[in-house]
Every structure is written in structure tokens, then in C-alpha cells.
Amino acid sequence: MTDLLQSPLHDRHVALGAKMADFGGWSMPIEYPGGGVVAEHTAVRERVGVFDVSHLGKARVSGPGAAEFVNACLTNDLRRIGPGQAQYTMCCTEDGGVVDDLIQYLRSDDDVFLIPNAANTARVVELLEVAAPEGIAVENLHDSYGVVAVQGPRSDEVLRSLGFPVDHDYMSFVEVEWEGLPVIVCRTGYTGERGYEIVPAWDVTASVWDALIAAAAEQGGLPCGLGARDTLRTEMGYPLHGNDLSPDITPVMAGAAWAVGWDKPQFWGKEALTAERAAKQTRLMRGLVVTGRGIPRSHCDVRDDSGAVVGEVTSGTFSPTRKQGIALALLDRSVTLGDEVVIDVRGREVAATVSKPPFVEVGVREQ
């Protein structure tokens, strides 16, 4: 993995004995010794977990009218939120495919901070740069900031013990100084639990990590890898770009039409997405809960009771919370909630029920 990019916490993960793997071109921890994915997943659902997600991109769009410019490019409507709030959005192609899904943080009318996915950051920045009018600056800040996620019902206790703010609403952020260092504390996350994502300068991310790991340990928390992050997000039905969203899977297909500002005068892909939404012909994303034994995986065919292929799994895993297989799948519109289907897992038929995510109780918005 010598050619892979490294987070500012790489040495910390190696010292902890983490299993490292390629994730979006970055060497990132998948799991740590002492229980692995299931133990880390359970820590987040029941107590608290700390993740290094510094591989995520960071970008800034600034200048007079920056927010208006971003709003004319990305799908969601920044007019729905105010300064200090964040919003899930997508960067689409003109034919409606998804280049990336990302979080946009509105600092002011003239300043928007973006966190795209690791592998797609350069492309998102490039598209914005090409489209930006004179006076609007688009900066790729990928290696200027780290990101540490603190997720779980005890996340407030962890942050409070270190003097971080914890009283702001879901999908909002506060920019503060911590021990003299500027950090952004975002009430966001990818696990479905109450939690925060802390964005410090790259060079001080290690100090923030060390303090959070020590504070989390006092709450029974664990360092967590991206393996647990994936099982947690799948239990919530959160999409992963490249699996559940892609240039071939539109927001309409993925069930993410709520993140599109349909009434906006323009955004990339508006014409194609509006036509697709009206036609009601494409497959739609649904949840699958395995009723037999087996773990569905991406690209497994889904069949109805006649044996006809009616869809394809986009993300599948074993749910540590439910202790059974779950999946997200693109299914024909003829398939409805409650239907019984069969997933072809390496030639073996695995029975499942069509359901609506999330697959677990939701705690992310709790105050």
C-alpha cells in the first residue's frame, strides 16, 4: 500500500495494530484488534466509537455570491438552511447520474465548505472550478484538514469532557478554538446514532484524536474502523457512492429525491432528473431483510417467486444489531414493500422480505 495516500493518523492506526486497506485511494483502518467489526459496531450503537475519516475530501467555495453559485450547481437547495447549518446534497451529471454525494456547510452567503467523498473530491472541485464565474474561488483543501467522527449515545459525554460544544442541532456546525486550535464541530455522521464530526487542521488532527480516544475509553468506547462504519450505515440505509449512488444510479432511483431542490431554477442534471421523476419507469432502491441464512453482497441478482430477475443488490452485509443479513437493492417498480423475494448468493437461493430502511431504531436526531 506504499502508493496509497495516508491520513494524518496513519501512524496511530499502525501502532494500534489496525488492519489497513485501500479505501478511495487512501490507506485506512478497516478494523482494530480486540473484537473487530462487530465489537466496534456494537460500541457505537450502545456507547461510543471514534473514527478517522480524514480521507474524506474538503473544499471551499468563496467570494461574492458563492452560496448562490453552489446552489445553481448541486442538487439540494441551500435556501432551505441558514449560516451555521449543513445539508446533504449531490453533484450530478447533465444526464442525472451522481458524480458524488457530499455535505455542504453554509458559513455565509459568500462562503461554503464542502466535504465530498475521498475518491471524488478532485472531480467535484474540477467541475466547480470550470463553472465558477469570475470572483468565485474554488479550493481543494483535501490535505489541509483531518476529520474525526465521534458517534454513539455517549458522544456528548466524550466531547463535553474535552470542552467541545455539544448543544447545537442536528445538521449544524460550530467553529471554535480548542486548546488554542481552530476546529469545526459538526453535528453530523454516517452511523444513525447521535454524533459529531470534528474537522481540525491537518497537523493537529493527531492531538484531537488522542484526546478523543482517551475520553471515549472512559465511556466504554472504542476506536472504530471503516468496516464498522459500513455496517452501521447499511443498517440505516445510508447510500455509499459507487454502490448505491453512481453515474448510473440517479437520486430518483436511489430514493434520494428529498435531497433535490426541484423548485430551484437550475442545478446540474435538473432537466434529466425532472423527466425521470415524471416518467416513473426506473428501478427504485429498497431494503431487503434476509429471512433465511445468508449474507447478500453487491451485484447479487434478486428474483421474484417465478424466478424472474427483478433487481440487483447494491449493498449487502450482516447486521450485527439484527443478527441477520440485510441489503439495499435496486428493484423493479412492480416489487412492493412486504413482498417475498430470493437473492442469488453465489448460486444459493436466500429468502428475503422487501422492506423500507432504516433497519434499526434511529437515534441520529435525538436532542
Domain boundaries, the chain: 5-53+144-236, 59-140, 283-367
pTM: 0.96
Please calculate the CA angle 130-239-86 and round it to the nearest 5 degrees: 60
Q: What is the CATH number of domain 5-53+144-236?
A: 3.30.1360.120
- Provide the residue-wise pLDDT of the chain in tens; the chain has 367 residues: 458 999 999 999 999 999 999 999 999 999 999 889 999 999 999 999 999 999 999 999 999 999 999 999 999 999 999 999 999 999 999 999 999 999 999 999 999 999 999 999 999 999 999 999 999 999 999 999 999 999 999 999 999 999 999 989 999 999 999 888 899 999 999 999 999 999 999 999 999 999 999 999 999 999 999 999 999 999 999 999 999 999 999 999 999 999 999 999 999 999 999 999 999 999 999 999 999 889 999 999 999 999 999 999 999 999 999 999 999 999 999 999 999 999 999 999 999 999 999 999 877 766 5
Residue 26: other Cβ atoms inside 10 A: 21
The 10s digit of each residue's pLDDT in 320-354 is 999 999 999 999 999 999 999 999 999 999 999 99
Closest CA relative to residue 232, chosen from 156, 298, 149? 149
How far apart are alpha carbons 120 and 140 in whole angstroms?
A: 11
Cell of 303: 428474483
Architecture of the 283-367 domain: Beta Barrel (2.40)
**Single-letter code of the amino acid located at 236:** M
Distances (CA, A) of 240 to 1, 21, 116, 145, 315: 23, 17, 12, 22, 8
The residues with which 172 forms a beta bridge, in sequence order, are 85
Q: How many CA atoms within 13 Å lie on the side-chain side of 94?
A: 1
Q: In whole angstroms, give the CA distance from residue 111 to residue 131.
A: 16
CA dist 326 and 197 (Å) reads 26
132 DSSP assignment: P
The confidence score (pLDDT) of residue 1 equals 46
Q: Which residues is 113 bridged to in the sheet?
A: 60, 105
Q: What's the fold here for domain 59-140?
A: Alpha-Beta Plaits (3.30.70)
DSSP annotation of 202 reads G
pLDDT at res. 267: 98
257: three-class secondary structure by DSSP: helix
Q: What angle do CA 247, 120, 238 make, to 5 degrees?
A: 70
| Residue-level pLDDT at 367 | 54
Task: Count CB-CB contacts under 10 A for residue 309.
Answer: 11
Tens of pLDDT, residues 161-196:
999 999 899 999 999 998 888 999 999 999 999 999
